[in-house]
Amino acid sequence: MHKLLSQLDSAEPLRDMSLAELEQLGDEIRDVLCNLLSERTAHFASNLGVVELCLALHSSFDFRRDRLLWDTGHQVYPHKLVTGRYHEFGTIRTKGGLMGYPNPEESEYDLFMTGHAGCSVSTVLGIRAGDQLLSPDRYSVAVIGDGAFPSGIVYEALNNISEVKDKLLIVLNDNKMSICPRVGGMASYLDRLRTNSFYTGLKTEVVKVLNKVPLLGDPAERFLAQIKEGVKAGLHGGMLFEDLGLRYIGPIDGHDIGLIRKYLAMVRDLEGPILLHVVTEKGHGFEPAAEDPVFFHTPPAFVNDNGHAVPKSKGGSKAYTNFARDAIHQAAGKDEHVTVMTAAMCQGNKLEPVREDYPEQFFDTGICESHAVAFAAGQAKAGLRPVVAIYSTFLQRSFDQIFQEVALQNQPVTFMLDRAGLAGPDGPTHHGVYDLAYMRVFPNMTVMAPGDARDVGAMLDFALSLDGPSSLRYPKAAAETIDGPRADVELGRCEVLREGADGTLVGCGVMVHECLRAADLLKDEGLELGVINARFVKPIDRETFSRVLALSPFVVTVEEGCLMGGFGAALLEMACDQGLDTSRLTRLGVADEFIEHGDRGELLAELGLDAAGIAATCRRRANPVSQDIRDSAVG
């Protein structure tokens, strides 16, 4: 039993705790986190790194009234534990349990669901602007990591931040990491701030002295003023932030609760928006995670054996991400014109071998998806063949660059969308269910969905042969392979896997496997169903699908994506344009709602997208009257 944590119904008692009690609370939080990882995979190193920061914030502010936003949100576990959710914590990232990100439906302490990086500064700036008009005594705090800080939207917000007069704090949590080691000029700048020996000691006293130098106006005094400002700039490592209108303070030790509380008390009395630079260690308190924070970002379940992480089980089947990585690696090896870029997700996309073997062809832009896409368009214009490997949900951040820099210019950029479909326990901020809809609206764009592991490599090769942009998507799931001889990938051609006189199932992407399993179930019941691997969402196979819609008793499309604008919608549009009867067409997919977190298999079953659900839909279409009677009897 965790003595202190178990007694917390809210974070209010933290404000009366002694430093020793807060440190004990930190130990209990780390124990809970290690226990969680013995049950299931979860975000780990990032949460270990913010324990003291979380406790200092909640013991310095009352966030039932004051405002707290956690950027990205996957480091919110300590926050959940101290805000009354300890007894539910064992359910985190399971269906019906706590979300692994902030969730306003769970607690008044959670203001926004935050799963995409960089948005907290803009959002907290808007909150504070609203509070200045309606509740001026509230204080607003955003915690943003150094990996998220280079996001373009952060600088758009900083450009406006001088409009806020008071009670706004940005805590820059600097742990020298994104998910992978961070890259770019801002990373180097923060490194210089962290290693400036003058900054936390000598600087303060020197600047006090410099501020006493009189400025009267004659040439000698103007020269002295220039020297004064030059010395201040040399000692003041945070001049970039100061010039943008932020009062910069730090860097300070982010694992010293007492020190952080001292600085938080100080900034409450300062005017203007404040940036407090806090240095933390990802994985702090558990040595294996501190030594390898990349692996321990979301590690597999393990047992803590005297400070050693012992995996509970070995990895399972090879994932689609691995097949995509291998195809990219092979393409880069065959053609030096092929370049690869990722947005701080080298480890998530499993691209380390590409980075190591072809470093001059590999580019990590950091958490800057808009820049990554425009950057890729520039490379394509120069004669390269860029492959942009980004999660489906994160590519949404670059919608305008896909439109203007890529599609409008007809640049041959290939998009490989990982985590397409349901992202399981990561939940609604990470489900990649919109990419088919948002990619197919652009002229010049070819949109593909590999049906199995073999399709992935074949489609990448095909994409790299095109003169314009293209995309292909694949889920976070164990890869499967369709048995038997296969058709080559041809532009706008689907693949007929089975013929069937009683109806037709059309699987978009890896849903074709559930369609095959559903067809097997129904075959045992006397129904012979055809199964088609759609392969292309745009251009759609007009010839094959026109024939199927005209001749098949019923057609069911199945996609792991939104129904609005997805593959089924594309088929309806084609049928409408050609004057075909669509009364026998049924579309299965994600309805107009956000899907909660849970195991991917559980979510597919709930949505009727597993074999059993697809078979049930086919039974209703094959014999609607008798099936309705059976459904009523069961009910």
CA–CA dist 5, 35 (Å, integer): 14
Of 627 and 29, more confident: 29
Does the residue 300 lie in any domain? Answer: no
Give the CATH number of the domain where residue 136 resides. 3.40.50.970
Does the residue 181 lie in any domain? Answer: yes
What residue spans of 496-557 are helical by DSSP H? 511-523, 542-551
What pLDDT sits at residue 586?
97
Neighbour count for residue 620 (Cβ, 10 Å): 18
Residues 192 and 204 grouped into a single domain: no
Closest CA to 81 of 35, 145, 121: 35
Residues 405 and 536 grouped into a single domain: no
Does the residue 98 lie in any domain? Answer: yes
- Res. 408: pLDDT tops 80: yes
What pLDDT sits at residue 304?
66
Determine the structural domain holding residue 399 and report its residue range: 320-473
Query: At residue 399, what are phi and psi to the nearest 5 degrees?
Result: -55, -45
- Res. 420: pLDDT tops 90: yes
Mean pLDDT of all residues in 436-440: 97
Active site residues: 282, 369, 397
Residues 425 and 523 grouped into a single domain: no
Confidence tier at 354 by pLDDT (50, 70, 90): very high
Neighbour count for residue 285 (Cβ, 10 Å): 19
Structure confidence by residue, pLDDT tens digits, 156-178: 999 888 878 789 999 999 987 55
Q: What is the DSSP letter of 274?
A: E
Q: What is the enclosing helix (H) or strand (E) of 354? A: helix 352-357
- Res. 110: pLDDT tops 50: yes
Mean pLDDT of all residues in 544-555: 96
Does the residue 309 lie in any domain? Answer: no
Confidence tier at 190 by pLDDT (50, 70, 90): low
Q: What is the DSSP string of 286-326?
A: SHHHHH-TTTTSSPPPEEEETTEEEESS---SPBHHHHHHH
Closest CA to 50 of 252, 190, 255, 249: 255
Range with the poorest average pLDDT among 36-50, 136-150, 433-447, 539-553: 36-50
Mean pLDDT of all residues in 200-219: 42
Residues 547 and 506 grouped into a single domain: yes
Residues 46 and 138 grouped into a single domain: yes
User: Cis before residue 13, ω within 30 degrees of 0?
Assistant: no
Q: What is the DSSP string of 611-631?
A: HHHHHHHHHHHHSHHHHHHHH
What pLDDT sits at residue 188?
66
What pLDDT sits at residue 139?
95
Residues 223 and 122 grouped into a single domain: no
Between CA 413 and CA 419, with CA 415 as vertex, the angle to 5 degrees is 170
Q: How distant, in Å, are the alpha carbons of 20, 79, 81, 136, 285 from that of 4?
A: 12, 14, 11, 34, 19
In the block, which residue shows the tokens 């073997």?
357
Does the residue 3 lie in any domain? Answer: no
- Res. 248: pLDDT tops 50: yes
Average pLDDT taken over every residue of the chain: 87
Confidence tier at 307 by pLDDT (50, 70, 90): low
Q: How far is CA 170 from the centre of its chain?
A: 21
Does the residue 487 lie in any domain? Answer: no
Residues 134 and 229 grouped into a single domain: no
Of 4 and 309, more confident: 4
Say what percent of the chain tops pLDDT 70: 86
What pLDDT sits at residue 311?
66
Residues 327 and 369 grouped into a single domain: yes
- Res. 351: pLDDT tops 60: yes
What pLDDT sits at residue 205?
39
Residues 464 and 607 grouped into a single domain: no
Say what percent of the chain tops pLDDT 90: 69
Q: What is the largest CA-CA distance in the chain?
A: 101
Q: How many domains does the chain have?
A: 4
Confidence tier at 208 by pLDDT (50, 70, 90): very low
- Res. 199: pLDDT tops 60: no
What pLDDT sits at residue 200?
42
Residues 48 and 94 grouped into a single domain: yes
What pLDDT sits at residue 230?
40
Structure tokens that stand for 202 in this block: 């000598």
Range with the poorest average pLDDT among 41-45, 247-251, 393-397, 625-629: 625-629
- Res. 213: pLDDT tops 50: no
What pLDDT sits at residue 312?
59
Q: What is the DSSP string of 118-170?
A: T-HHHHHHHHHHHHHHH-TT--EEEEEETTTTTSHHHHHHHTTGGG--SSEEE
> With left for phi above 0 and alpha for psi between -120 and 50, is residue 115 left, alpha or beta?
alpha
Of 268 and 473, more confident: 473
Contact criterion met (CB below 8 Å) for 73 and 102: yes
Range with the poorest average pLDDT among 80-84, 281-285, 450-454, 500-504: 281-285
Structure tokens that stand for 425 in this block: 């326990």
What pLDDT sits at residue 317?
80
CA–CA dist 182, 405 (Å, integer): 26
What pLDDT sits at residue 34?
86
Of 329 and 163, more confident: 329
What pLDDT sits at residue 183?
64
Residues 359 and 412 grouped into a single domain: yes
Closest CA to 423 of 39, 115, 90, 33: 115
Structure confidence by residue, pLDDT tens digits, 457-480: 999 999 999 999 999 999 999 999
CA–CA dist 143, 132 (Å, integer): 20
* Residues with Cβ within 8 Å of residue 186, at least 6 apart in sequence: 146, 149, 150, 366
Residues 174 and 84 grouped into a single domain: yes
Of 562 and 299, more confident: 562
- Res. 214: pLDDT tops 50: no
Of 627 and 277, more confident: 277
Give the CATH number of the domain where residue 610 resides. 3.40.50.920
Does the residue 230 lie in any domain? Answer: yes
Structure tokens that stand for 601 in this block: 């298999």
Structure confidence by residue, pLDDT tens digits, 577-614: 999 999 999 999 999 999 999 999 999 999 999 999 99
582: β partners: none
What pLDDT sits at residue 296?
72
Does the residue 25 lie in any domain? Answer: yes
